[in-house]
Structure 1
Amino acid sequence: MARVELDGRAYDIDDLVIAGWTGRDVAALEHHIEELKAIGVQPPSKVPLYYRVAASLLTQADSIQVVGDDTSGEAEPVLIGTADRLWVTIGADHTDRKLETYGVVQSKQVCAKVIGRSAWRFEDVEPHWDELILRSFIEEGGKKVPYQEGLLAKMRLPRDLIAGWNNGNKRLPAGVAMFCGTLPAIGGIRSSSRFDMEIDDPVLGRKLEHSYIVRALPIIS
Structure 2
Amino acid sequence: MKLFFDLISTRAATQLVTVNLQQCIVAGWAGRDLAAIEHHIEELAELGVPRPSAVPLYYRIAANQVSQDDALQAVGPHSSGEAEVFVFMHDGQLMVSLASDHTDRKLESISVALSKQICVKPVAREAWPFAEVAAHWDSLILRSWIEEDGRRVLYQEGTLASLRPPTELIEGCFGAAGMPPDAGMTCGTMAAIGGIRPSTNLEMELFDPILGRRIHHAYRIEVLPEIA
**TM-score bracket for this pair, using the shorter chain length:** over 0.9
Q: What percent identity do the matched residue pairs reach?
A: 49
How far the C-alpha of 1:27 sits from its partner, in A, is 3.5
Structure 1: which 5+ runs fail to align?
A: none
2:108 to 100, 107, 120: 100
Return the TM-score normalized by structure 2: 0.92
Please give the secondary structure, in 1, of the residue aligned with 2:53.
Answer: coil
How far the C-alpha of 1:173 sits from its partner, in A, is 1.6
Amino acid at match of 2:18: A
RMSD over equivalenced CA pairs, Å: 1.2
Q: Does 1:124 align with 2:132?
A: yes
Other-structure match for 1:155 = 163
Moved more, 78-87 or 193-202: 78-87
Structure 2: which 5+ runs fail to align?
A: 7-15
How far the C-alpha of 1:56 sits from its partner, in A, is 0.7
How far the C-alpha of 1:12 sits from its partner, in A, is 0.4
> What pairs up with 1:76-87 in 2 under 5 angstroms?
76-87=84-95
What is the alpha-carbon distance in structure 2 between the residues aligned to residue 189 and residue 57 of structure 1?
22
Other-structure match for 2:11 = none
Cα separation, partners in 2 of 1:9 and 1:168, compared to 1, 3 Å: closer
What is the alpha-carbon distance in structure 2 between the residues aligned to residue 146 and residue 37 of structure 1?
26
Q: Residues 5 and 127 of structure 2 are in contact (CA less than 8 Å); yes or no, is this contact kept in structure 1?
A: yes
> What pairs up with 1:183-198 in 2 under 5 angstroms?
183-198=190-205
Deviations, residues 131-169 of structure 1 (Å, cap 9, x unaligned): 001111100010100111111010011111011011234
How far the C-alpha of 1:31 sits from its partner, in A, is 4.0
Amino acid at match of 1:22: A
1:213 to 210, 220, 226: 220
Return the TM-score normalized by structure 1: 0.95
Cα separation, partners in 2 of 1:207 and 1:34, compared to 1, 3 Å: farther
Q: Does 1:181 align with 2:188?
A: yes
What is the alpha-carbon distance in structure 2 between the residues aligned to residue 37 and residue 211 of structure 1?
30
How far the C-alpha of 1:36 sits from its partner, in A, is 2.9
Other-structure match for 1:73 = 81
What is the alpha-carbon distance in structure 2 between the residues aligned to residue 27 and residue 214 of structure 1?
34
Please give the secondary structure, in 1, of the residue aligned with 2:188.
Answer: coil
Report the count of equivalent residues. 219
